[in-house]
Amino acid sequence: MRFNIFQQSDVPEKYRSNFAHLYFDIAWFGVLSGTAVNFLNVYATRLGATGFQIGLLAAMAAVVNLFLAIPAGRWIEKRHTGRAVFWSSVVFRIGYFFWIPLPWLFDAQGQIWALIILAFLMAIPLTPLGVGFNALFAESVPDRFRAQVAGTRNVTFAIAYMLTSLMAGTILKSLPFETGYQVIFAIGAFGAAMSSYHIYHVTPLEETAPLSVSPLPAPTSQTDSPRGIHSALRLDIWKTPFRNVLLVLFFFHFTHFLPTPIYPLYNVRVLNLNDNNIGIGTALYYLTVLIGSTQFRRIAHRYGNKLVTAWGAAGMAIYPLLLAFSENTWQFYGLSFIGGFLFAMINGAYINYMLEKIPPNDRPSHLAWYSIILNTAILTGSLIAPAIADMAGLVNALILIGILRILAGLSVHKWG
């Protein structure tokens, strides 16, 4: 089947279906992200959630992933990557449909804790999805096209996110508080379902598939020995150069997710932004993500994914540093417009940078360890940030995060 929405004249025919479905997948994921995911923390804040509760919304997935990432990687190794990723996405995304009736079932605090519990349960299938999708991307996109496909996916995501966040802001402005959120949660759940549909049609290519499957765990009697446990956990990966990649990416992700519980508190309680303001700001942010993504392929080919990752990680310090000194809606809009370009660079580069460092015949185990460091960063950042904000104040916390992001970029450049 041929798709004409995306220009693929320079792409061989045998790759076009995979690329098109990857673009449609991220487009529908952009619908989900621009509506339900984008406004989840804002909704929780308006319900009266504390910084700790907002942190838990992110931390629940991280806790589960820390325990399941290695088993998920070995589970993916033994199965068809595409089917495993598809079914994981289906089970995970069913959870979004349970967000819709929450206002009918619980009071404000009940809804907050229900969302936290759902985040925990949804994290179980999210773990193999997170491990498996990066492997599926590597297996379905030849190396020479990865920057192009990643850049186009960024463009597609940005368009969908931008349009749907504007739409969501308008809906929330027009409808009663909880009803408006039920509508955007329903739109997001539909986008999630359509994203899974397109994932189903992404198939690994023979030329990019692993040459061999990593060894399975030893029999039970041997797995109980130190040597067997060492093998099952794939601790040998930490003796390879990939160790440095894991460490610098941990620092990058830690600084990236550290402000997650702080942004909604600052935007709602300090800047006094309404939902429409937040929707417009998000749209402006992803407008420049869109502009930046059109240049990603050229920049990545010229400077390399590692250098672009380092620059992007350091450059993302601009957002929290300037936000700390913002006092009104228009400054928020201007900052949103500036921030998107650097996000486009880092979002397109760091995955490709990591994949370049992974042996093609051992992706799932390496990606499982990446998933562990990613979720350790999310967990620690989400739980530490409220404490930092309580001790230092929201403004000083944002300044500290900006400084840490600069250091994260320098660490990628020097040691990654």
d(CA 208, CA 231): 25
Helix extents (H) in 258-362: 262-265, 275-303, 305-315, 318-323, 329-356
pLDDT at residue 368 above 60? Answer: yes
Q: Let me know if residue 202 belongs to a domain.
A: yes
d(CA 255, CA 259): 8
Q: Which of 200-209, 289-298, 382-391 has the highest mean pLDDT?
A: 382-391
- 126-172 tens-digit pLDDT: 888 877 887 888 888 887 777 778 878 877 887 898 899 889 989 99
What's 408's DSSP letter?
Answer: H
Domain harbouring 382, CATH code: 1.20.1250.20
What's 14's DSSP letter?
Answer: H
Q: What is the dihedral of CA 89, 94, 97, 98, to 10 degrees?
A: -130
Longest CA pairwise span in the chain (Å): 65
Residue 4's pLDDT band, with cuts at 50, 70 and 90, is: very low
Residue 102's pLDDT band, with cuts at 50, 70 and 90, is: very high
Contact 31, 14 (CB under 8 A): no
CA distances from 78 to 63, 72, 73, 141, 229 (A): 24, 10, 9, 21, 19
Q: Which of 10-24, 42-56, 393-407 has the highest mean pLDDT?
A: 393-407
d(CA 52, CA 45): 11
Residue 7's pLDDT band, with cuts at 50, 70 and 90, is: low
Q: Let me know if residue 2 belongs to a domain.
A: no
Backbone angles phi, psi at 4, to 5 degrees: -110, 0
d(CA 43, CA 357): 39
Kindly state the tokens that stand for 311: 């620059």
Contact 290, 153 (CB under 8 A): no
pLDDT score for 223? 37
Kindly state the tokens that stand for 25: 């997948």
Average pLDDT in the chain: 83
Residue 314's pLDDT band, with cuts at 50, 70 and 90, is: very high
pLDDT at residue 124 above 50? Answer: yes
pLDDT at residue 71 above 50? Answer: yes
pLDDT score for 261? 86
- 204-223 tens-digit pLDDT: 776 555 544 333 333 333 33
Residue 77's pLDDT band, with cuts at 50, 70 and 90, is: confident
pLDDT score for 239? 83
Q: Find where tokens 């349970």 sit.
A: 98
Instruction: Give the residue among 44, 174, 177, 194 at the shortest CA–CA distance from 113.
Output: 44
- 338-347 tens-digit pLDDT: 888 878 888 7
d(CA 300, CA 347): 12
Q: Let me know if residue 63 belongs to a domain.
A: yes
Q: Let me know if residue 160 belongs to a domain.
A: yes
pLDDT score for 84? 84
Q: Let me know if residue 4 belongs to a domain.
A: no
Q: Let me know if residue 6 belongs to a domain.
A: no
Q: Which of 75-89, 109-123, 126-140, 383-397 has the highest mean pLDDT?
A: 109-123
Percentage of the chain beyond pLDDT 90 is: 31
Backbone angles phi, psi at 339, to 5 degrees: -70, -25
Domain of 343, in residue numbers: 13-207+229-415
Q: For the chain, what is the domain count?
A: 1
Buried b (16+ CB within 10 A) or exposed e, 187-215: bbbbbbbbbbbbbbbbebeeebebeeebe
Average the pLDDT over 96-117 and give the result: 95
| Half-sphere exposure of residue 215: CA atoms within 13 angstroms, side-chain side | 11
Q: Which of these ranges, 88-92, 257-261, 313-317, 347-351, has the smallest mean pLDDT?
A: 347-351
Average the pLDDT over 117-128 and give the result: 90
- Give the Cβ contact number of residue 127 at 10 Å: 27
pLDDT score for 218? 33
Instruction: Cite the beta strand spans of 189-279 per DSSP E.
Output: none
Q: What distance, in Å, lies between the first and last C-alpha atoms of the chain?
A: 41
**The one-letter amino acid at 256:** H
Q: Let me know if residue 65 belongs to a domain.
A: yes
**The one-letter amino acid at 154:** N
CA triple 385-339-153, angle to 5 deg: 100
pLDDT at residue 18 above 50? Answer: yes
pLDDT score for 207? 53
d(CA 196, CA 26): 10
d(CA 183, CA 103): 12
Q: Which of these ranges, 64-68, 322-326, 398-402, has the smallest mean pLDDT?
A: 64-68
Q: Which of these ranges, 97-106, 143-152, 168-177, 178-187, has the smallest mean pLDDT?
A: 143-152
Contact 75, 395 (CB under 8 A): no
Q: Let me know if residue 23 belongs to a domain.
A: yes
